[in-house]
Amino acid sequence: MNERKYNIRISSEGRELVAIDDFRLAKSAITVLLGESGIGKSLILLAIAGLIDPDELDVQIDGKPYAAYLRSQEAIDIRRNGFFVFQEPSSHLNPLATLRAQLREGSLAKTHDEERILRKLWQNSTSSDIESILDVYPKPYRPSGGEKQRILAAMAFKKMAASAELEDSTFIFDEPTGNLDNRLRNEFLDLLIENFRDRTATIVLITHDYSIISRFASTYPAVSMRILYRELMLERGKLHLRDFLPGEYLSWLEKRNAAVRTAKKTETILRLHPDIEIFGRTLSISRDKEGCNLEPLVIRKGAVTYLKAPSGTGKTTIVKLMMGLIKPEKMLMELGSAVYTEKTNRNAWARGVWGKQMTMVFQHADESLNQNSKVKDVFSGLPIAGPMNERTIANSISELFEEEPSRDFLNTKVKYLSGGQKQRLNLLRSLILHTDILILDEPLNGLDFASAAKVITKIEMKLQSGIGVLVISHNEEIFDTLVAADDIYYLHSWSPNCTMPDTSKR
């Protein structure tokens, strides 16, 4: 396969951000670029796409100044014939133009495939639904993250159609499915393969979603020869790119699926009644996807409870109110012998729940951790019996890190860690506690495969110790291997079409 090899150095105010000698990009192929977050994947591809401002960062490509690279035919072609879908869609869209206008801007106006692409990305939506979204401005009307992401994907697919005749065009998708549920993600992948199959485009797909591997393997075996999986890794402070064999993930998953999971009838620790009112909305919980038969959400000893719902339904809201962090208009939660309602004072959670009965891992490690803390100080102030000296902290950290951390690492400020390292610390801070219940909100966010596997093993160890776990995660393929069917719940914003059940018997 024809490959272009890059030597890339990126620094800011004398501090090296990225340095890699062997970044390879396969031409006329799909490269699925994996690796933990914050390691430099986006930055490397932004540099290749010629999208870094030379006044902001010092960039060298193949030993030459960035300005020279930007003048090269290669960089000009990538910008002219290709497309870059940014991870944060808001940063890409112009707040002063309607989505429709942006979808038809410049060379995108030439293609006539728009309706088909939009229909596919807005599966099951009527034309009028799509039309109404296209007429809004990104800022004041705030389309959802998923809608913005699909608009950007539609732009990229339109550009792909416009560049169909060209031999060399490069399309980079940076976490294009981060805000999409599994169904919409699959629609996106179908469209990607459909556009790629008979063409010579070079596509890079940056993702942490390893279930894309199963999707490609099961649905598109014919194109699998043209799909490469590569993982960007940081080893002993040095970045390098390794080939990731899909079998690594698939066989791990297969092994996990082979284990029989049955719902053990263990003791109930928490029961959250299914009709909840918050922010003027009614949220309900059921075991059926449709949400017509409401049931209390139960967390049991030694079991994982999995709460599923499309993005934006309110999963994080539910767990925050269970933790007493936000005040609902109506709720009833039984935790052990105590009852918590909308009238319960926040101090009750502070006295008896936080760090004692329950703890929670928030989904954004960047916000949850103190960026100005040293690694060892992340564990300061936790309600743990016995001393937390450097030795015990190092031992705990080594459970989710490759090797025992050095003293230098323990004294490194959190802000200098990669996103994946931050997420592992974020998890460890709660895993180290001895609570009855552990709530995990997107625990595999930003992790590479090896770290994700370690986290799953660690959760299993906690389960064996009798802890109850509540999980919210879009990594359904992975967490489905950990949860019994009876312990899966669905969250709904209450729909008047369904009959609310009689909850008076509760």
Partner 1 sequence: MATKTFTGNSWLSILASKKDLPWLTIWIAGLGVLWIWDALFLNAPAFARLQIAFLNSLFTGVMVVLFSLVLGWFVGVSLHMLEHSKSKVGFAVISFVTDILRSIPQIITVLIGYVVLTILLHNGIIRSSFVQMLWIAGIIAIAVFLEVADTIRQRIDYFRTLDFVDAMLCCGIKERRIINVEILWKNSRSHMLHKLIAIFGISIFLQCSIDFIISVGLSTDVSLINFPMTLGNLLANVDSKQDILALSNLFTEPGYLPVIFVRHLQGLSVAFCIVFSLLCIYMIANGFVRRHKLA
Positions touching partner 1 (CB under 8 A) are 13-14, 54-55, 58-59, 65-67, 320, 323, 325, 345-347, 350, 354-356, 358-362, 364, 367-373, 380-383, 426, 429-430, 433
Taking the complex as a whole, the smallest distance from the CB of residue 423 to partner 1 amounts, in Å, to 12
Minimum separation from the CB atom of position 14 to partner 1 (A): 7
Cα–Cα distance for residue pair 408/421, rounded to 1 Å: 15
Pick left, alpha or beta for residue 464 (phi over 0 → left; psi -120 to 50 → alpha; otherwise beta).
alpha
- CB 384, min distance to partner 1, A: 9
Q: Rounded to 5 degrees, what angle do the CA atoms 202, 204, 206 make? A: 175
Secondary structure of residue 439 in the 3-state scheme:
strand
Closest distance of CB 487 from partner 1, Å: 22
Q: Which is nearer to partner 1, 55 or 198 (CB)?
A: 55
Reduced to 3 states, what is the DSSP secondary structure of residue 45? Answer: helix
Q: How far is the CB of 479 from partner 1 (least distance, A)?
A: 21
- Helix orientation angle between 127-134 and 114-121, rounded to the nearest 10 degrees: 100
Contact 230, 244 (CB under 8 A): yes
Nearest distance from residue 420's CB to partner 1, in Å?
18
- 355 or 501: whose CB is closer to partner 1? 355
65 close to 47: Cβ distance less than 8 angstroms: no
Closest to partner 1 by CB, 66 vs 449, is 66
CB of 58 to partner 1, least distance (A): 4
Measure Cα distances from 41 to 172, 230, 251, 481 in Å: 11, 11, 26, 29
> 98 vs 316, which CB is nearer to partner 1?
316
> Tokens 């060298």, residue?
60
Which CB atom, from 287 or from 356, has the smaller least distance to partner 1? 356
Q: What is the identity of the amino acid at 195?
A: N
Cβ nearer to partner 1, comparing 43 with 217: 43
Q: Supply the DSSP string of 140-205, one letter for each residue.
A: TT---HHHHHHHHHHHHHHHHHHTTT-S--EEEEESTTTTS-HHHHHHHHHHHHHHHTTS--EEEE
Backbone angles phi, psi at 64, to 5 degrees: -105, 150
Nearest CB to partner 1, comparing residues 324 and 405: 324
Question: 382 or 461, CB closer to partner 1?
Answer: 382
- Helix (H/G/I), strand (E/B), else coil: 282: strand
- Report the candidate in 419, 34, 84, 86 with the shortest Cα–Cα distance to residue 213: 34
Collapse the DSSP code of 134 into the 3-class scheme (helix H, G, I; strand E, B; otherwise coil) and give the result: helix
Smallest separation, CB 65 to partner 1 (Å): 4
Ordered DSSP codes for 246-272 = HHHHHHHHHHHHHS------PPEEEEE
* Gap between the Cα atoms of 90 and 88, Å rounded: 6
Give burial (CB, 10 Å; 0-12/13-18/19+) of 71: exposed
Q: How far is the CB of 331 from partner 1 (least distance, A)?
A: 17
Q: 81: part of which helix (H) or strand (E)?
A: helix 73-81
Taking the complex as a whole, how short is the minimal distance between the CB of residue 440 and partner 1, in angstroms?
Answer: 12
Least distance between partner 1 and beta carbon 350 (Å): 7
- Specify which residues 383 forms β-bridges with: none
Cβ nearer to partner 1, comparing 429 with 454: 429
Which of 230/462 has CB closer to partner 1? 462
Residue pair 306/487 in contact by the 8 Å Cβ criterion: yes
- Closer Cβ to partner 1, 133 or 369, answer by number: 369
